[in-house]
Chains A and B, each alone.
Chain A
């Protein structure tokens, strides 16, 4: 069955709560609509509606399905729109890879900023990790990307490198929230929730190496690129996360002493940049500075071990 189409029927029925009205809205007769909803129920193995002669009501399963169905239908529509633009071979589209955890406000600012600069060109952002962006750039499936460093940029050029020093997100009840600044070593023994290594291999390894240098070997690493899920784990006290301050009740952000983590990012493109890459780079650099708290990378910070007689060599 075409699950997406059936979910679309389902959503119309949930809005009307009347099979006759829903069928009329869909421009079809009532019996085939009823039949399709039944097939959806069979497919999912649950009853979605309580039907009586007088009224139609959602079951608990039906209520749970509504937001899921909305998201699936919307995503499929977005994908179709994007692909049809690309299929038209429209030169006035810039296909840009953006990291998954950039945040809604930054993505919106990126699109708006590009629209202001080039109203004639549409920016089509695609959510993609660095590894996938590198492959897509090399294969010509993306015009430009926002890469995390370190990355293998053979065959690519990249723009200015911006840097952000993430802090740590802790549950409100964590004893470490007593400190105004937290050292990496303070996190020893805790679990860490981090973006998946598949998506960001370079930054993942870099981050864990910095953690080990700083005395933090996570007991367990939970990988996710879903910010909500990561915050849920932090909120429950299960794990700590690195990142920017989160405006979430119950989650406390603290800077890391000495800024031991440096998350670098830059626009990148294939060796011969497409026509709008310069525009995208200018907009992206400005937006990442204004909305994502990134700054120009200065001299690479050197981490110095301060020797102590009792903890160094042969003591």
Chain B
């Protein structure tokens, strides 16, 4: 009886995830008054490319301290290229870019090669020390993109990127991937990610100029299919960073309303299906985020909404 009632009472955000064939973890917070909507928001999740956000913060903090120069030019050669479908990794010739333009590619199109060049500059331990300093102690950056990919090659026995893509269509193979285990991979929780975003938007994660530069890059991300798909409105600004691995679709970001309301939201999903093209799963991230933000904007619901 109570079980039946529980089924009938499935909260609408949970229903959106179910209908898209995914399990979802979500946290949304009003950046200015701290009210929140949470769904499994304290559980560890795999970051995938979302790890590029704390990396970007540490990059700017090192620049603030004079440890690196964002305008310094770096030569990216064939040896630096990492798998992934965008950016420097798929280009055929060596390129020279400034550190801050590498950061742009890392955020705009999730360029893995750019991310690895920057992480090598900044150092993983430095990123984790920053996270400790910000109180984000569940969030860890253990691997760069090359590590993640080579781990998946090892787990699947694939000899190259093409073989890995084919192998990851097999649910049994996907089940073996260590990259999909939060304990063994770059990880965080939805709640820690919205805390990081809120600190970036309140100029607390770094100096105000750095936070402004980070916000600019997050607003230049090109993907319209996940978080942004929930807000197809010209007067709503959406900034974000996606993360994608086999069965993993994530995005964290900030949604800003024309009335000044601004909301940090972190959505992490795992799909049952191993199909790579799942537009419904991508769109569910946007829909769930809008539902959570709609609850935060409904001032009748005061205080925390735990679901």
Q: Which residues of B contact A306 (CB under 8 A)?
A: 234-238, 256
Are the C-beta atoms of B235 and A304 separated by less than 8 Å?
Answer: yes
Q: Which residues of A contact B221 (CB under 8 A)?
A: 309
Number of interface residues of B (CB under 8 A): 25
Are the C-beta atoms of B233 and A214 separated by less than 8 Å?
Answer: yes
Q: Is A308 an interface residue (CB 8 A)?
A: yes
Q: Which of A185, A215, A258 contacts B258 (CB 8 A)?
A: A258
Q: Is A248 an interface residue (CB 8 A)?
A: no
Q: Which of A181, A214, A304, A310 contacts B294 (CB 8 A)?
A: A181
Q: Is A76 an interface residue (CB 8 A)?
A: no
Question: Which residue of B has the minimal Cβ distance to A259?
Answer: B259
Question: Which residue of A has the minimal Cβ distance to B223?
Answer: A310
Are the C-beta atoms of B298 and A308 separated by less than 8 Å?
Answer: no
Q: Which residues of A contact B300 (CB under 8 A)?
A: 180
Question: Which residue of A has the minimal Cβ distance to B221?
Answer: A309
Q: Is A80 an interface residue (CB 8 A)?
A: no
Q: Distance in Å from the Cβ of A254 to the closest Cβ of chain B?
A: 10
Q: Is A53 an interface residue (CB 8 A)?
A: no
Q: Is A257 an interface residue (CB 8 A)?
A: yes
Q: Which residues of A contact B294 (CB under 8 A)?
A: 179-181
Are the C-beta atoms of A181 and B297 separated by less than 8 Å?
Answer: yes
Q: Which residues of A contact B237 (CB under 8 A)?
A: 306
Are the C-beta atoms of B224 and A260 separated by less than 8 Å?
Answer: no
Q: Is A178 an interface residue (CB 8 A)?
A: yes
Are the C-beta atoms of B224 and A305 separated by less than 8 Å?
Answer: no
Q: Which of A252-303 contact B (CB under 8 A)?
A: 257-260, 303
Are the C-beta atoms of B232 and A185 separated by less than 8 Å?
Answer: yes
Q: Is A52 an interface residue (CB 8 A)?
A: no
Q: Is A148 an interface residue (CB 8 A)?
A: no
Q: Is A183 an interface residue (CB 8 A)?
A: yes
Q: Is B12 an interface residue (CB 8 A)?
A: yes
Q: Is A213 an interface residue (CB 8 A)?
A: yes
Are the C-beta atoms of A305 and B234 separated by less than 8 Å?
Answer: yes
Distance in angstroms between the alpha carbons of A310 and B294 in the assembled complex: 24
Q: Which of B224, B256, B295 contacts A180 (CB 8 A)?
A: B295
- Beyond A181-B297, A257-B257, A258-B258, whether A215 also contacts B235 by CB under 8 A is no
Q: Which residues of B contact A35 (CB under 8 A)?
A: none
Are the C-beta atoms of A260 and B235 separated by less than 8 Å?
Answer: yes
Q: Which of B12, B224, B233, B297 contacts A178 (CB 8 A)?
A: B12
Q: Which residues of B contact A213 (CB under 8 A)?
A: 234
Q: Distance in Å from the Cβ of A120 to the closest Cβ of chain B?
A: 46
Q: Which residues of A contact B169 (CB under 8 A)?
A: none
**Interface 1/0s, chain B 242-284, versus A by CB < 8 A?**
0000000000000011110000000000000000000000000
Q: Distance in Å from the Cβ of A84 to the closest Cβ of chain B?
A: 51
Q: Is A311 an interface residue (CB 8 A)?
A: yes
Are the C-beta atoms of B232 and A258 separated by less than 8 Å?
Answer: no
Question: Which residue of B has the minimal Cβ distance to A305?
Answer: B234
Q: Which residues of A contact B220 (CB under 8 A)?
A: 309
Q: Is B222 an interface residue (CB 8 A)?
A: yes
Q: Which of B12, B232, B297 contacts A215 (CB 8 A)?
A: B232
Distance in angstroms between the alpha carbons of A183 and B300 in the assembled complex: 19
Q: Which residues of B contact A214 (CB under 8 A)?
A: 233-235
Distance in angstroms between the alpha carbons of A265 and B74 in the assembled complex: 61
Q: Distance in Å from the Cβ of B7 to the closest Cβ of chain A?
A: 19
Q: Is B228 an interface residue (CB 8 A)?
A: yes
Distance in angstroms between the alpha carbons of A233 and B24 in the assembled complex: 39
Q: Which residues of A contact B290 (CB under 8 A)?
A: 179
Q: Which residues of A contact B258 (CB under 8 A)?
A: 257-260, 303-304
**Interface 1/0s, chain B 3-17, versus A by CB < 8 A?**
000000000100000
**Interface 1/0s, chain A 87-118, versus B by CB < 8 A?**
00000000000000000000000000000000
Q: Which residues of B contact A310 (CB under 8 A)?
A: 222-224, 228
Q: Which residues of B contact A179 (CB under 8 A)?
A: 290, 294
**Interface 1/0s, chain B 192-232, versus A by CB < 8 A?**
00000000000000000000000000001111100010001
Q: Which residues of B contact A308 (CB under 8 A)?
A: 224, 228, 238
Q: Distance in Å from the Cβ of A259 to the closest Cβ of chain B?
A: 7
Q: Is B108 an interface residue (CB 8 A)?
A: yes
Q: Distance in Å from the Cβ of A253 to the closest Cβ of chain B?
A: 13
Are the C-beta atoms of A215 and B234 separated by less than 8 Å?
Answer: yes
Q: Distance in Å from the Cβ of A209 to the closest Cβ of chain B?
A: 14
Q: Which of A173-225 contact B (CB under 8 A)?
A: 178-181, 183-185, 213-215
Q: Which residues of B contact A304 (CB under 8 A)?
A: 235, 258
- Beyond A257-B257, A308-B224, A309-B222, whether A181 also contacts B298 by CB under 8 A is yes
Question: Which residue of B has the minimal Cβ distance to A309?
Answer: B222
Q: Distance in Å from the Cβ of A129 to the closest Cβ of chain B?
A: 30
A215-B232, A258-B259, A308-B224 are known contacts; what are 8 more A-B pairs with Cβ within 8 Å? A180-B298, A181-B297, A214-B235, A257-B236, A260-B258, A306-B234, A308-B238, A310-B228
**Which positions in A face B, CB cutoff 8 Å?**
178-181, 183-185, 213-215, 257-260, 303-306, 308-311, 315
